[in-house]
Amino acid sequence: MTAAPQAPAPLIDRAVPVYRPSGKRPVWMGTPSPGVQLLKAITIALIVLVMLYPFVYVIAMSFASREAAASGGFFPTAFSLDAYRSILGGDVVTRAMLVSIGITTVGTTLSMIFTTTLAYGLMRTRDVPGAKTILVLVLCTMLFGAGIIPNYLLVRSLGLLDSYWSLIVPGLISAFNMVVVRNFFMGLPTELFESARLDGASDWRIFTRIVIPLSKAVLAVIALFYAVGYWNSFFNAMIYLNDTSKWPIQVVLNQYVVQGSALTSIQAPDQPPPPGQTLQMAVIVVATIPILMLYPFAQRYFTKGVLTGAIKG
Amino acid sequence: MSVTKDGVPAQAGTSPAGSDASAGRGRVSRPGRRRRRRDDPRLEHVLREQASVWTRMKRERWTYAFIVPGMLFFLVFSYVPLLGNVVAFQDYSPYWGIGGSEWVGFDNFTAMFSDPQFLGALKNTLIISFLQIVFAFPAPILLALLLNSLISERTKRVVQSIVYLPHFISWVIVISIWQQVFGGAGPAAELFSAIGLDNVNIMSDPDTFKALVVSQVIWKDIGWGTIIFFAAISGIPNELYEAAAVDGAGAARRTWHITLPGLVPVITLLLILTIGNVLTVGFEQLLLQQPAVGADAAEVLDTFVYYRGIAGGDWGLSTAAGLFKGVIGTVLVLAANKFAKRLGTGGLF
């Protein structure tokens, strides 16, 4: 009865032992011909190059000195920090970064609270009258969306236009993420809840002391999804915020890089302007850095099957 | 530790595992209540069914405290906007609101289908969707097969982390980066002029725009798409490969006869989802690039709704277009699901 807290079973059911490559070619496989191997190596090298080159090029160019940027080529050679000094000295980019960081932090926190509580509440559909209906209603929202205009009209009639809340509240809970979390919760051993309940623990206590600590892995992934979503959100900010001083970094990036508005307004006033292209690259890098920082941490979890279990809900 | 949830009364004795020792340790009841009848665990199921809905709701009142905030969210931000679609049948003006605007029946829809801009957007949407199903959909399958054939775990992991990366970058950044590389001043243009093509800017060329859109989608999401195929591949039992190899099947035949059939359920599943999204093509991706290539090439349904409605103030017609899109999408996904079930590959729900 006192089942030790243990990691829940992986969400992909594996009825049979599975081929796990161990870095050694199994005997039965047979060695492919050198030609095939070469072809494979070249293909993979090409894919890696295509994926990485744009990033490398943009980062390199953002550090390029005036002369190096002007001479073009596939890779600049001379190094300079002027572009960063210039954009971080002006207030547009700095303020937009702060806005984005704020939205991402507050939004992710709220999203996690609402997602996990709803997932916990909808766990025991058999015991709780109405929970099944509510679950189905939530799942249905994955099937159809209301469309852009009704959402806009709703946000406007709630008086959220030009408020930072308009970037957080409409996407507070993603039904998909809720289902992923709920599936994970349901994989936890039931005995834990039962014995806790027998000991007189309240739902809140079970939730905060048992369920949440045992679900750290999946919660990390979901938090990452929310954070990336908030950081990357562009369209909501574009339609809901008219006040340009409230713009998050993605909208600023669109304005000054994609649509190519004059960059002078985003620089520090007393700096000699570095070439426009270098400035644009620096803005791109600044907007990408938070993602690049989160990425290695999160990347470990992706292949663990946390997500695949939810696809077929 | 059985966690059987549906113990019918006849088997209920085995369902709450080992409960003879700790009789009445029911998940239903809180300790200290309903002592009298709880003692026999086999009655647990019967009791639960007999308890009135009201009693059960009272017993679970704290669970509702967990449910209500999230439920309110979905009611307000998913179901209220759904009702907001009535604007499609109105000559809506923000001044009068939904209550005061004039009802016009299907006028918005008839106007929509005779609107050349809408028809152009519909055509572009369908063409881009078709290209994506043909080119972008199979791309991750091929990549997953290729990576799966690698022997070295380390190489595989490194390549995976590189190809997943663009998925996490916003469309704004993706388009920015592509502009820098493929735009008029980037290295790609230099490459083109080196082979004698001057002033090539594929980022603003309407003729090749649809190919560009599909390439961007492949670049951004090919890696991410492989995850689900990897999961499916790792579920295929090794014995099948061994047996096939013993019978003389080479790598290509093993892929064709074992791996691909093993992937069919996942492919069906994703195809259903893709078909449901046929009228939704990368909204932000196109919105961002439309100024550069012009509306003729880059207008799709979503951008049409945005420009007509939020930017242009033609609320009724743009809501009608959005509703049309939503209804078709739902119908398609239901139809595809039914079709997949009939084929015997199993549907989504």
Residues of chain A contacting residue B18, judged by C-beta atoms under 8 Å apart: 1
Highest mean pLDDT range out of A89-93, A136-140, B197-201, B236-240?
A136-140
- The single residue listed with the structure tokens 């051993």 is A189
Nearest chain B CA: its distance from A40 CA (Å): 8
Alpha helices in chain A (DSSP H): 34-62, 66-71, 82-89, 91-121, 131-140, 148-157, 175-187, 190-198, 203-206, 212-214, 216-232, 235-240, 249-253, 276-302, 308-311
Tell me whether residues A54 and B318 touch, CB distance under 8 A: no
Q: Decide which of B260 and A13 is more confident.
A: B260
Three-state SS at A18? strand
| pLDDT at B117 > cutoff 90 | yes
Specify the pLDDT at position B21.
Answer: 39
What is the spatial distance between Cα B349 and Cα B339, in angstroms, rounded to a whole number?
Answer: 12
Specify the pLDDT at position A263.
Answer: 65
B244 contacts B325 by C-beta, under 8 angstroms: no
Q: Best mutation site among B62, B89, B173, B341 for testing chain A: the one with the most A CBs within 10 Å?
A: B173
Residues of chain B contacting residue A111, judged by C-beta atoms under 8 Å apart: none
Q: Return the amino acid letter for B303.
A: T
Chain A residues 63-122 within an 8 A CB cutoff of chain B: 72-74, 114-115, 117-118, 120-122
Nearest chain B CA: its distance from A269 CA (Å): 25
Residues of chain B contacting residue A146, judged by C-beta atoms under 8 Å apart: 78, 81-82, 84-85, 326
Could you read off the pLDDT of A179-224 as tens digits, one per residue? Answer: 989 998 998 888 888 899 889 889 999 999 999 999 888 898 899 8
Specify the pLDDT at position B2.
Answer: 39
Nearest partner of A299 among A214, A220, A187, A216, judged by Cα: A220
Nearest chain A CA: its distance from B263 CA (Å): 14
Of B85, B150, B173, the CB nearest to A146: B85
Nearest chain A CA: its distance from B185 CA (Å): 8
Tell me whether residues A312 and B164 touch, CB distance under 8 A: no
| Host H or E run for residue B82 | helix B80-84
What is the spatial distance between Cα A107 and Cα A113, in angstroms, rounded to a whole number?
Answer: 10
Nearest chain A residue to B272 by CA: give it. A143
| pLDDT at B302 > cutoff 50 | yes
User: What does B191-244 look like in DSSP terms, one character per residue?
Assistant: HHHHTT--S--GGG-GGGHHHHHHHHHHHHHHHHHHHHHHHHHHTSBHHHHHHH
Any B CB within 8 A of A61 CB: yes
DSSP 8-state symbol, B255:
I
Tell me whether residues A29 and B245 touch, CB distance under 8 A: yes
Return the number of CB contacts < 8 Å for A and B. 322
For residue B103, list its beta bridge partners: B90
Q: How confident is the model at residue A82 (pLDDT cuts 50, 70, 90)?
A: confident
| pLDDT at B160 > cutoff 50 | yes
A52 contacts B162 by C-beta, under 8 angstroms: yes
Domains of chain B: 9-56 (no CATH), 61-105 (no CATH), 109-343 (1.10.3720.10)
Residues of chain B contacting residue A124, judged by C-beta atoms under 8 Å apart: 27, 60, 63
Structure ipTM = 0.84
Any B CB within 8 A of A56 CB: no
Percent of chain B residues past pLDDT 90, beyond the cut: 38
| pLDDT at B175 > cutoff 80 | yes
Residues of chain B contacting residue A44, judged by C-beta atoms under 8 Å apart: 146-147, 150, 155, 159
Specify the pLDDT at position A173.
Answer: 96
Specify the pLDDT at position B8.
Answer: 37
What is the spatial distance between Cα A275 and Cα A139, in angstroms, rounded to a whole number?
Answer: 50
Q: What is the overall mean pLDDT for chain A? A: 82
For A273-286, b/e burial (b = at least 16 CB within 10 A) is ebbbbbbbbbbbbb
Residues of chain A contacting residue B328, judged by C-beta atoms under 8 Å apart: none
Nearest chain B CA: its distance from A140 CA (Å): 10
Tell me whether residues B63 and A29 touch, CB distance under 8 A: no
Q: Best mutation site among B56, B98, B161, B168 for testing chain A: the one with the most A CBs within 10 Å?
A: B168
For A54-87, b/e burial (b = at least 16 CB within 10 A) is bbebbbbbbbbbbebbeebeeebeeebebbbebb
Specify the pLDDT at position A17.
Answer: 44
| Host H or E run for residue B246 | helix B238-246
Taking residues B17-30, what's their average pLDDT? 42
Q: How confident is the model at residue B4 (pLDDT cuts 50, 70, 90)?
A: very low
Any B CB within 8 A of A183 CB: no
| pLDDT at B39 > cutoff 90 | no
| pLDDT at B341 > cutoff 70 | yes
Q: Return the amino acid letter for B47.
A: L
Specify the pLDDT at position A301.
Answer: 67
What is the spatial distance between Cα B317 and Cα B323, in angstroms, rounded to a whole number?
Answer: 10
| pLDDT at A137 > cutoff 90 | yes
Token digits of residue B163:
């190809």
Q: Decide which of A145 and A44 is more confident.
A: A44
Residues of chain A contacting residue B176, judged by C-beta atoms under 8 Å apart: 253, 257-258, 280, 283-284
Nearest chain B CA: its distance from A27 CA (Å): 9
DSSP 8-state symbol, B90:
E
Percent of chain A residues past pLDDT 70, beyond the cut: 79
Among A11-15, B149-153, B286-290, name the one with the lowest average pLDDT. Answer: A11-15
Specify the pLDDT at position B152.
Answer: 82
Tell me whether residues B187 and A128 touch, CB distance under 8 A: no
Alpha helices in A72-166 (DSSP H): 82-89, 91-121, 131-140, 148-157
Q: What is the CATH number of domain A87-311?
A: 1.10.3720.10
Rg (CA), chain B: 28
A292 contacts A226 by C-beta, under 8 angstroms: no
Could you read off the pLDDT of B204-245 as tens digits, one per residue? Answer: 888 899 999 999 999 999 998 888 888 888 888 888 888 888
